[in-house]
């Protein structure tokens, strides 16, 4: 068991059968004054088993997938260099060709669904469900029941056996997605793989590859083969590349081919903007920022150009049939989400949400897992309405929101403007939060931005877990606070979401090692430390004496006396 | 009128008489496609008139103060080198002795109150109230009525004539306080003055000087003389210095002398922990983090050592009489605030709040202005209860909260954990937010941390203004979003809370000047830009056509058709 430099060890929690569920164990020092031991705390771990990036991760789920005897390998649609875009065709090769193992894709043997929802509805408990239950520390029946009802999803494409199963649903820990991906302007395959690993190191529960630049197929191959978490995509981006960016030339056939390409690679969930209906487009005409979703605007452009209904809507059932054969989950895209406060909760947004509700039911009829995407930019007082309507209309399908940002005036700080909305909407039931980085609206996130975005969203998600009273969530806070009160600085750092930053900030003022065991810090200096004074106060009054005072107070009716004389007298009695 | 490099100009809004109220005007470019002009937007400005730090600011309010004929100059308590602590006595001098003008202190001529509350209750509209009304863009009668009722305060010590009056109350814009101050471990006078100026440059509405190290008196002198915003302090810190840190040796006389020293210097509001009653101390014994307020722990220690009631409580009326003569406002300290989630909204905290309610009424009986301090660390689901109880028990006195932090697990990111709580509690009525910097719990904030803290809290405060529907608040968001949609990059930067960071982040990916007028950005590249596609969609359908489609939709009942055929048919009709 490797120990890193933060008092952290990766341990494995045993599940049924040979399940081994990874956790991060933080070992703690004893309390300094009493020398009482402090038990270690085990935290949810998303970092995966680790590997050389050019080899990929071990196929953890291979036996589980094949053990069900409902999938078979097949030759697949075949590789086309055009999948990597025009420059790859021109060069005759894609960048950083994948050199690791190439498995043949698998899919349903007989066309019947191979989805976790399908199994759950038939009362089958899969190893994936058991893994999730052990990971969440809950009963596996809760997992099965929530997946069966559609209130939770386990995104696990049969072609992504490397993934460690996780669950997205309001009855479970709130999850965080990190977006990565190149664009025509910046970044490379290696950068994106590194960002993915970096994001999961810091706690990203899923990663979306939103690449729109060169080498889309190859970038995705590297990412999926190295990802211990589910990978999401927006297939319309690649489809548009295949028609050289001319939205008018998109067809269902090109889109369908792209989806199958990605199903075979192992993408676990796909954003599909099937709710952008032709008749909703005019509802955006008077908006301050129109349509801000890339997918939404592409499909709106297509609908208007052809005067036809969105082909994703008209072919939705075919899409369901494909997804069911690989267990790809829908992330029903909110193509008409508001791009600013002024457009929040407007007719266009809510009309689309009603269509997403209809599509949810249609997907469920195919046993296909679904989550529903949400905004965006919403004033804080209107945030709750979004989750309330989504849960109501979409029958409890997991909500997956981007923030929302609660003000538009702080570019450069939109990880914060959106964390405010994210914590709030998650407290009210949103199951997964899509992170926003400091670069939102301004540029592509670099490595530091990815970390800042993930940590910011982990704290927002955890705040919501605590606010929801999720079992065990607050234990983490209490453990860290006890360490803080007892001046166990090393424990305080090690228990932090970001131990490196906590330690670095402390050391800026007090770098000496001795300061790590000092009963004060640089904010107040040794004499004024309230923690020390407070501990002294507690020590001075032996616990029994304090308890007695407290009991006396309770006997007096616990009331707060507004008369100073009575109060002082009562307190004197209690203290004497 | 100086123009800085962000399209910003300081302008002055004229008020009654010779009032000139500073605003920041942001000049905007015309819309690129239509060439329609975009009117400038005027933003609240806290940066002050500017001056050489060693000269101090002009005494803006001198004539207003003396024009009321109710104060007189007097010799004052006299300077004592011990006010700057033992090292100053040892050296025979304080650091950076104040070289600017030294005015004799003034106070009430006849002992009657000279407070804004006193005037407001007698129906007198002061220039301070007029200044505030012009600054907030509201009717001056609202200002007077809110101050008279105690629901708002205008902290303006008669010995701080340099201040530009501002108001703290739930009917007005949510305000932000920035804490600065040296400690025994770090920083210098010059550093603290620079931090104060830096904080007000970025929007701090008040600044608290929480110094506990050397040269407390002199540091404060420099800060007050240079501050265009109200200055707050916690006098118990300096009083404790005067007894060499031995809390047991504190006396009412030493504290009283310190308060008068600070009244004469011009401190506008003081945190007074008069609610930490002897009988409440035992209620903290079983807490995870005991008493975390420095003032609270000092007074708790004193109460227990002497077995007597808190001398700030027993002498509270004398304190009111002093404050009334200088117009110093109470910030009733929450010495028993929770220091972690586990201790939130507990008996100790709420018992103290009931005492703060009693003290509020006692201060009001002296026409002394009051705000009430609040936590701290509170789970998100319990945040609202804090403001609800405070408003209810304290008869609407302005609430002034530190965050609250909604989780304890993210040291290094507590500006964010607390901004979530801050935005939420401000939406429900908190009048002023005390900022938290990334260094909270870890060290003293440096210049960058101060800026990050202020910007983070400005965005939280503004989010709350928008959520409350404060008149005009959302115009700022809408103006920026329109600029974003129209690719007016310079306008987008200039309208940002932090133009430097917004511009720098953009330029990391696309540094060329040409990119500032480009109709795309580095996130998506030129081809995929949803903003561009959306604008194209809008352009393609002339506005009337779009409106017609929209009207047709409304005529059809605005309902969302669940039948795809009907839907497509309806849309075709509408679009044709």
- pLDDT value at B410 more than 90: yes
Q: Determine the average pLDDT of the residues in B433-451.
A: 93
- Which of B292, B467, B574 lies nearest to residue A534, judging by beta carbons? B292
B220 and B288 both lie in a single domain: yes
Instruction: Out of B294, B469, B564, name the one closest to residue A528 (CB).
Output: B294
Q: Is A184 on the interface with B (CB under 8 A)?
A: yes
pLDDT at residue A324, as a whole number: 98
Strand-pair category, B399-402 with B370-374:
parallel
CA-CA-CA-CA dihedral for B263, B264, B267, B270, to nearest 10: -20
Contacts of A415 in chain B (CB under 8 A): 416
pLDDT at A576: 28
- The overall pTM is greater than 0.95: no
Closest-CA residue to A325 (of A256, A373, A394): A256
Specify if A90 maps to a domain.
yes
Q: Give yes or no for B245 touching A (CB within 8 A).
A: yes
- Higher-pLDDT residue of B229 and A211 is B229
CB contact under 8 Å between B522 and A410, yes or no, is no
Residue numbers in A near B485 (CB within 8 A): 288-290, 339-340
Chain A hits for B174, Cβ within 8 Å: none
Tell me if B183 and A313 make a contact (CB, 8 A cut-off): no
Q: Do residues B409 and B344 make contact, with C-beta atoms less than 8 angstroms apart?
A: no
Domain-terminating residue out of B473, B500, B529? B473
Q: What's the CATH code of the domain at A381? A: 3.20.20.540
Among A526, A102, A562, A492, residue whose Cα is nearest residue B362:
A562
Lookup result for tokens 């050296």: B91
Cα–Cα distance measured from residue A525 to residue B245, given in angstroms and rounded to the nearest whole number: 11
**B72 near A CB under 8 A:** no
Beta pairing class for A8-14 and A20-26: antiparallel
Please give the full DSSP string across A385-401, using - where no structure is assigned.
HHHHHHHHHTTTPPEEE
Q: Which residues 288-327 of A are in CB contact (within 8 Å) with B?
A: 288-294, 296-298, 300-301, 304, 307-309, 313-314
| pLDDT (tens digit per residue) in A232-286 | 999 999 999 899 888 889 999 999 999 999 999 999 999 999 999 999 998 998 8
User: Could you write out the DSSP letters of every residue in A465-510?
Assistant: HHHTT-TTHHHHHHHHHHHHHTT-HHHHHHTSSSHHHHHHHHHHH-
Does A370 contact B at CB distance below 8 Å? no
Q: Which of B467, B481, B526 sits opposite A184 (nearest CB)?
A: B526
What is the average per-residue pLDDT within B311-332?
A: 98
For residue B509, list chain A residues with Cβ-Cβ distance below 8 A.
185-186, 439, 442-444
Write the DSSP string, B430-469: --EEE---TTTTTS---HHHHHHHHHHHHHHHHHHHHHTT
Q: Same domain, yes or no, for B3 and B135? A: no
* Chain B: residue whose CA lies nearest to A339: B481
H helices of B10-115, in order, are: 62-67, 86-91
Per-residue model confidence (pLDDT) at position B558: 36
Could you tell me if B514 and B528 lie in one domain? no
Task: Let me know whether A526 and A441 are in one domain.
Answer: no
Q: What angle is formed at CA A122 by the lines to CA A117 and CA A123, rounded to 5 degrees? A: 95
Among B415, B403, B487, B399, CA closest to B451: B415
CB atoms near residue B542 (< 10 Å): 10
A303 to chain B, minimum CA–CA distance in Å?
10
B484 to chain A: closest CA residue: A289
Taking the Cβ of residue B225 and every Cβ of chain A, the question of whether any pair is shorter than 8 Å is answered with no
Distance (Å, rounded) from C-alpha A535 to C-alpha A532? 5
pLDDT tens digit string along A366-397? 999 999 999 999 999 999 999 999 999 999 99
Give chain A positions within 8 Å (CB) of B304: 537, 540-541, 575
Please report whether residue A478 resides in a domain: no
Residue A142 lies inside a defined structural domain of this protein: yes
Average pLDDT of span B269-284: 95
Q: Point out the domain boundary residue: B414, B439, B473.
A: B473
Question: Do B526 and A184 touch, CB atoms closer than 8 A?
Answer: yes
Which of A183, A286, A358 is nearest residue B524 as measured by Cβ atoms? A183
pLDDT, one tens digit per residue, over B67-109 is 999 999 999 998 888 899 888 888 888 878 888 988 999 999 9
pLDDT band at B356 (very low <50, low <70, confident <90, very high): very high
- Indicate the number of domains in chain B: 3
Is B268 a residue whose pLDDT tops 60? Answer: yes
Is residue A328 domain-resident?
A: yes
Phi, psi of B49 (to 5 degrees): -75, -20
ipTM, two decimals? 0.92
**CA-based angle B264:B267:B270, to the nearest 5?**
120
CA distances from B243 to A186, B210, B247 (A): 62, 18, 7
When scoring B408, B470, B555 by the number of chain A Cβ atoms within 10 A, the one with the most, hence best to mutate, is B408
Query: Does one domain contain both A349 and A261?
Result: yes
Q: What SS3 state is found at B374?
A: strand
Cβ–Cβ contact B173 with A under 8 A: no
Distance to chain A for B518, nearest Cα, Å: 13
**Do B207 and B273 belong to one domain?**
yes
Do the domain assignments include residue A54?
no
- What's the half-sphere exposure (Cβ side, CA atoms, 13 Å) at B82? 10
Phi, psi of A190 (to 5 degrees): -60, -40
pLDDT band at A181 (very low <50, low <70, confident <90, very high): confident
Radius of gyration of chain A from Cα atoms?
A: 26
Q: At what angle do helices B530-540 and B473-485 cross, to 10 degrees?
A: 90
Q: What is the mean pLDDT of residues A473-497?
A: 95
Query: Is residue B162 domain-resident?
Result: yes
CB atoms < 10 A from the CB of A194, how many?
A: 16
Say which residues have a Cβ less than 8 Å from residue A51's Cβ, sequence separation at least 6: A57, A58, A226
pLDDT band at A422 (very low <50, low <70, confident <90, very high): very high
Provide the chain A residues 256-295 that lie in CB contact (below 8 A) with chain B. Answer: 277-279, 281-286, 288-294
With b for 16 or more beta-carbon neighbours within 10 A and e for fewer, the A10-40 pattern comes to beebebeeebebbbbbbebbebeeeeeebee
Tokens of A451: 């970390």
Task: State how far the Cα of B115 lies from the Cα of B321, in Å rounded to an integer.
Answer: 11
Same domain, A539 and A464: no
Using DSSP, state whether B414 is helix, strand or coil: helix
Contact between chains at B477 and A407 (C-beta distance less than 8 A): yes
Q: Which residues of A touch B456 (CB under 8 A)?
A: 413, 416
- CA distances in angstroms from A474 to A76, A465, A483, B379, listed in the order given: 47, 8, 14, 9
**Alpha carbons A540 and A183: distance in angstroms, whole number:** 63
Q: CA–CA separation, A10 vs A46, rounded Å?
A: 11
Picking from B351, B424, B426, the residue whose alpha carbon sits closest to that of residue B172 is: B426
Instruction: Identify whether residues A132 and A160 lie together within a single domain.
Output: yes
Of residues B345, B291, B342, B411, the one with CA closest to residue A479: B342
Interface test with chain A among B473, B494, B505, B576, by most A beta carbons within 10 Å: B505
Report the C-alpha gap between B15 and B125 in whole angstroms. 13
Q: Does residue B338 belong to the interface with chain A, where contact is any CB pair within 8 Å?
A: no
Q: So what's the pLDDT on residue A187?
A: 61
Domain boundary among A473, A496, A529: A473
> What helix, strand, coil percent values describe chain B, rounded to 5?
45, 10, 40
Residue B564 has pLDDT above 60, yes or no: no
CB atoms within 10 A of CB A470: 18
**Residues in B touching A185 (Cβ below 8 Å):** 509-510, 522, 525
DSSP state of B30: P
Residue A305 and residue A370 in one domain = yes
| Confidence category of residue B525, pLDDT binned at 50, 70, 90 | low
Q: Across residues A472-489, what is the average pLDDT?
A: 95
**Same domain, residue pair A69 and A14:** no
- Identify whether A504 is part of a domain: yes
Determine the Cα–Cα distance for residues B500 and B494; give it in Å rounded to an integer: 9
Task: Kindly state the tokens that stand for A45.
Answer: 């771990």
Got the DSSP string for B416-435? Answer: HHHHHHHHHHHHTT--EEE-
- Is A440 assigned a ligand-binding role in the annotation? no
Residues A457 and A533 in one domain: no
A157 belongs to an annotated ligand binding site: no
B467 touches chain A (CB under 8 A): yes
Q: Say whether pLDDT at B571 is over 60.
A: no
Distance from CA of B106 to the nearest CA of A (A): 32
- Residues B157, B268 contacting (CB under 8 angstroms): yes
A245/B contact by beta carbon, under 8 A: yes
Among candidates B423, B468, B530 on the partner chain, residue whose Cβ is nearest the Cβ of A292: B530
Q: Is the dihedral of CA B153, B12, B179, B419 positive or negative?
A: positive
Could you say which DSSP state residue A103 is in? P
As a whole-number percent, the residues of chain A with pLDDT over 90 amount to 72
Report the percent of chain B where pLDDT is more than 70.
87
B523–chain A Cβ distance below 8 A for any pair: yes
pLDDT at A476 over 80: yes
Evaluate if residue A416 carries a pLDDT over 60.
Answer: yes
Residue A237 marked as a ligand binder:
yes
Average pLDDT score over residue span B125-137: 97
Is position B296 within any domain?
yes
Check if the beta carbon of residue A367 is closer than 8 Å to that of residue A121: yes
DSSP codes joined into one string, B473-506: HHHHHHHHHHHHHTT-HHHHHHTSSSHHHHHHHH
User: CA–CA separation, A30 vs A469, rounded Å?
Assistant: 28
How many beta-carbon contacts under 8 Å exist across A and B? 496
Cα A18 to Cα A130, A505, B309: the distances in Å are 11, 42, 64
Nearest CA in chain A to B482: A288
Instruction: Kindly state the tokens that stand for B527.
Output: 């081809």
Measuring CA to CA, how many Å separate B246 from each of A512, B269, B301, B540? Answer: 27, 25, 10, 77
pLDDT at A563 over 50: no
Burial class (CB in 10 A: 0-12, 13-18, 19+), A78: exposed
Q: Are residues A10 and A102 in the same domain?
A: no
A336 belongs to an annotated ligand binding site: yes
- Report the C-alpha gap between A404 and A393 in whole angstroms: 20
Residue-wise pLDDT tens digits, B459-498: 999 999 999 999 999 999 999 999 999 889 999 999 999 9
Structural contact between residues A475 and B342, judged by C-beta atoms closer than 8 angstroms: no
A5: containing domain: 1-45+487-518
Is the Cβ pair B497, A296 closer than 8 Å?
no
Under the banding of pLDDT at 50, 70 and 90, the label for residue B557 is very low
């Amino acid at each position: 068991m490797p120990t890193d430099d933060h008092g952290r060890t990766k341990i494995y929690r045993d599940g049924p059968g040979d399940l081994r569920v990874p956790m991060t164990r933080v070992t703690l020092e004893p309390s300094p004054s009493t020398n009482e031991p402090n038990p270690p705390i085990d935290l949810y771990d998303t970092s995966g088993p680790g590997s050389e990036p050019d080899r990929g991760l071990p196929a953890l789920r291979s036996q589980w997938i094949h053990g069900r005897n409902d999938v078979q390998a097949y030759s697949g649609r075949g590789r086309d260099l055009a999948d990597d875009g025009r420059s790859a065709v021109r060069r005759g090769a894609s960048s950083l060709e994948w050199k690791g193992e190439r498995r043949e894709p698998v899919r349903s043997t007989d066309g019947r669904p191979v989805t976790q929802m399908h199994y759950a509805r038939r009362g089958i408990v899969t190893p994936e469900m058991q893994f999730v239950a052990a990971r969440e520390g809950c009963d596996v029946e809760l997992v099965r029941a929530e997946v069966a009802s559609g209130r939770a999803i386990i995104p696990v494409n049969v072609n992504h056996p490397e993934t460690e199963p996780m669950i997205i649903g309001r009855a479970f820990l709130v999850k965080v997605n990190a977006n990565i991906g190149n664009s025509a302007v910046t970044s490379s395959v290696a950068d994106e793989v590194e960002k993915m690993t970096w994001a999961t190191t810091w706690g990203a529960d899923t990663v979306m590859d939103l690449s729109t630049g060169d080498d889309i197929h190859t970038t995705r191959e590297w990412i999926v083969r190295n990802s211990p978490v589910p990978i999401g995509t927006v297939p319309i981006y690649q489809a548009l590349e295949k028609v050289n960016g001319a939205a008018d030339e998109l067809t269902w056939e090109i889109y369908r081919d792209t989806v199958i390409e990605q199903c075979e690679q192992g993408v676990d969930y796909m954003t599909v903007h099937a709710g952008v209906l032709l008749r909703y487009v005019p509802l955006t005409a008077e908006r301050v920022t129109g349509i801000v979703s890339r997918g939404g605007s592409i499909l709106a452009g297509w609908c208007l150009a052809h005067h036809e209904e969105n082909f994703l809507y008209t072919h939705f059932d075919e899409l369901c049939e494909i997804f069911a054969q690989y267990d790809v989950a829908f992330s029903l895209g909110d193509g008409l989400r508001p791009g600013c406060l002024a457009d929040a909760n407007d007719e266009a947004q809510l009309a689309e949400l009603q269509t997403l509700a209809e599509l949810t039911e249609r997907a469920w009829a195919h046993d296909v897992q679904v989550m529903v995407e949400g905004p965006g930019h919403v004033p804080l007082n209107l945030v709750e309405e979004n989750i309330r309507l989504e849960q109501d209309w979409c029958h409890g399908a997991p909500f997956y929101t981007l923030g929302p940002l609660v003000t538009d005036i702080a570019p450069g700080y939109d990880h914060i403007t959106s964390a405010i909305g994210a914590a709030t909407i998650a407290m009210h039931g949103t199951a997964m939060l899509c992170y926003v980085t400091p670069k939102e609206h301004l540029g592509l996130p670099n490595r530091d931005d990815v970390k800042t975005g993930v940590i910011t969203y982990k704290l927002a998600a955890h705040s919501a877990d605590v606010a929801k009273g999720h079992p065990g969530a607050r234990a983490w806070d209490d453990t860290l606070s006890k360490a803080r009160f007892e001046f166990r600085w090393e424990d305080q750092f090690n228990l932090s979401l970001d131990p490196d930053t906590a330690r670095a900030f402390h050391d800026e003022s007090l770098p000496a090692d001795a300061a790590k065991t000092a009963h004060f810090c640089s904010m107040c200096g040794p004499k004024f430390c309230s923690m020390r004074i407070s501990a002294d106060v507690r020590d001075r009054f032996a616990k029994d004496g304090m308890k007695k005072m407290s009991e006396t107070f309770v006997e007096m009716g616990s009331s707060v006396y507004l008369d100073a004389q009575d109060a002082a007298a009562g307190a004197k009695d209690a203290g004497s």
